[in-house]
Amino acid sequence: MADTPISSSGALRASGYAESSIRVLKGLEPVKQRPGMYTRTDNPLHIVQEVLDNAADEALAGFGKRIRVTLHADGSVSVEDDGRGIPHGIHPEENAPVLELVFTRLHAGGKFDKGKGGAYSFSGGLHGVGVSVTNALSTRLEVTSYREGHVAHMAFAGGDVVAPLTRRPAADGDRKQGTTVRVWPDPKYFESASLPAAELVQLLRSKAVLMPGVTVTLVNEKNRETQSWQYKGGLRDYLQQTLHGEPLIPLFEGEGYADAGHDSFAEGEGAAWAVAFTEEGAPVRESYVNLIPTSAGGTHDSGLRDGLFQAVKSFIELHALLPKGVKLLPEDVFARASYVLSAKVLDPQFQGQIKERLNSRDAVRLVSSFVRPVLELWLNQHVDHGRRLAELVIRAAQSRQRASQKVEKRKGSGVAVLPGKLTDCESRDIAHNELFLVEGDSAGGSAKMGRDKEYQAILPLRGKVLNTWEVERDRLFANAEVHDIAVAIGVDPHGPDDEVDLSGLRYGKICILSDADVDGSHIQVLLLTLFFRHFPKLIEAGHVYVARPPLFRVDVPARGKKPAGKVYALDEGELTAILDKLRKDGVREGAWSISRFKGLGEMSAEQLWDTTLNPDTRRLLPVQLGAFDFAATEAQFSQLMGKGEAAARRELMERHGDAVEIDV
């Protein structure tokens, strides 16, 4: 028995898997290997935006008044600013030029030391990647920095230095200060090598809106056109220009920022906003965090939504305007709202590297706490406008309730008895209701206690769900779990080409909630197989979701004005990023504690609500067809789930097994 490890090791070496097989990616290699983990790969706009964000951060810090973007005839893009210029000297610890470190190291920059005399108080995110990703994914990048009477220049190719740092005294024609970065994006990393013109214009115009007094210019060398934006009226003027339809009441605008003595938030944190309510036309909704556009919204949007709802609800209750039997929900207030929101958050946490959605939990309370009192005061000072808004909101609530009652009446004659283990919600508003299919009874118990019983229902599942890929439709209900799911949902099993009546659907969102481990992933796959095979119209209509509970919890000690708190990480990658950030924030190594959740049942009801059930802070992924069409997806499912496909699965694992990280 003692010889076994040696012989197995020998066998592994013989199969070509030895110590030398382990590869460590260094420098910018990870970005080149997996660019989609760090940036958008449909086009190079996001890597150009990383450069633009640095220029905007200089203006945000009060050191620049002009930003100029040039689209050159050779396909390159340059960004110029008149900020302080990147320092030219040698880094005291790394013994390399600072200019080189900024563009070649994933975790280098001037935005880490918040509140400690660092270069920036507020900046666009802190993932520690930024412009080095731009460098990695470009065939060439040139940077020129004007600072302290000198001009420094460097050039890179594919992230590597090709022209070392040169430094000379500034000549008469040189700028006094600022940075110019010229980028040649590498087309092999992107589906399309050209920048989307409309998106670029929108991005530049929004920077001008959010920084009143700063001039943003776009020069196109190909057609010799120049566009320039400067807004002195800020958010209000911008929203007024972009609105569809006439505002019902005057635009509501305001701003609020924490002062040095604030209990919960750091000095300068807060938001500025402009909100309009219209009776028709598509709403305009734009939000930003430290000037970064968050196209997928996030917790700052949720804070605005909460502040508006609480203020309008309070006004309606104070003036006794709510008819009997009508219950207000946040979407009744938000449905006809258009807004531009600009939040300032000291340490923003984003979902994903491209920063499309803000995840910072405190941002809900931050924005709401400033919006609510200002709107409440305004409505009570302008009671006529308040009553007009109240009428709009109450009409929305009444039409929503009427719609839900119609659906209830149509399905009221059904004979199916709801499963006994289903803990249903109180609301009958189908669009608002959510059903969570939860792995295990203990997790089901936590979910029942942690949920919002108004609109969230829980159906616990015992053990592994049946693999239904090859089960005939008329034999499906022989399995108790599948029967309970179908009856709870209120829709009969069907095929992709069947005419399906979805009027019996009882929940607008059907959410798969399983542990963040291998068994949980297996249950996810089995449930997705059930829905794709036997309920495809639910996926097509966007009713099926997968909830992403965290795998780790980090208990963080108090940091300056920030109280002690808990941070949750979805996986090892996020955990590493969180710990890196804590180190950069000056938290002593090991002062934090890390817990790994063995499963959902180990979470308290409060933790489950915070991380997985609360719409403001959870991660909920919509299930939809990916790169393949229906037929190709069906073929993939057959290969993965079919009983006679073991050989094909083995071949697949042999071919792609090295690309999978296994959690054992």
Write the pLDDT tens digit of every residue in 386-422. 999 999 999 999 988 877 654 333 333 444 578 888 9
94 catalytic per annotation: no
Band of pLDDT at residue 4, cut at 50, 70 and 90: very low
Express as a percent the part of the chain with pLDDT over 90: 46
Write the pLDDT tens digit of every residue in 598-635. 888 888 899 999 899 999 889 899 999 887 888 888 88
Mean pLDDT: which of 195-204, 374-383, 398-407, 647-656 is highest?
374-383
What superfamily in CATH does domain 29-229 come from?
A: Histidine kinase-like ATPase, C-terminal domain (3.30.565.10)
- Report whether 129 belongs to an annotated binding site: yes
439 catalytic per annotation: yes
Radius of gyration of the CA atoms of the chain, in A: 28
- Backbone CA torsion sign across 376, 378, 384, 386: negative
Q: Which two tokens stand for residue 618?
A: 């959870």
**Residue 280's pLDDT is what?**
87
Torsion angle, CA of 240/245/248/249, rounded to 10 degrees? 10
**Residue 204's pLDDT is what?**
93
Among 616, 619, 621, CA closest to 302? 616
Answer whether residue 562 shows pLDDT above 90.
no
3-state helix, strand, coil in the chain (%, to 5): 40, 20, 40
Mean pLDDT: which of 224-233, 287-296, 503-512 is highest?
503-512
- Backbone CA torsion sign across 42, 44, 46, 47: positive
Distance separating alpha carbons of residues 535 and 496, to the nearest angstrom = 8
Chain centre to alpha carbon of residue 44: 19
- Report whether 115 belongs to an annotated binding site: no
Q: Which two tokens stand for residue 286?
A: 């734009």
Mean pLDDT of 630-656: 84
- Report whether 575 belongs to an annotated binding site: no
DSSP 160-211: EEEEEEEEEE--TTS-SSEEEEEEEE-GGGSS-SS--HHHHHHHHHHHHHHS
| Identified catalytic residue from 515, 574, 585, 610 | 515
452 catalytic per annotation: no
Every domain of the chain and the residues it spans = 29-229, 234-405
- Report whether 81 belongs to an annotated binding site: yes
| Identified catalytic residue from 246, 519, 651, 663 | 519
Mean pLDDT of 498-508: 90
**Residue 125's pLDDT is what?**
43
Answer whether residue 222 shows pLDDT above 80.
yes
Answer whether residue 18 shows pLDDT above 70.
no
Mean pLDDT of 131-142: 92
- Report whether 54 belongs to an annotated binding site: yes
| Identified catalytic residue from 237, 331, 356, 517 | 517
Answer whether residue 301 shows pLDDT above 70.
yes
Express as a percent the part of the chain with pLDDT over 70: 89
Classified by CATH at the fold level, domain 234-405 comes out as: Ribosomal Protein S5; domain 2 (3.30.230)
Among 586, 591, 550, 546, CA closest to 567? 550
Answer whether residue 533 shows pLDDT above 70.
yes
Choose the weakest-confidence range: 88-92, 128-132, 347-351. Answer: 128-132
**Residue 115's pLDDT is what?**
44
Write the pLDDT tens digit of every residue in 137-146. 999 999 999 9
Mean pLDDT of 562-578: 87
| Identified catalytic residue from 424, 439, 574, 610 | 439
**Residue 444's pLDDT is what?**
87
Write the pLDDT tens digit of every residue in 164-179. 999 999 988 888 899 9
246 catalytic per annotation: no
* 383 or 355, which is more confident: 383
Distance separating alpha carbons of residues 630 and 496, to the nearest angstrom = 9
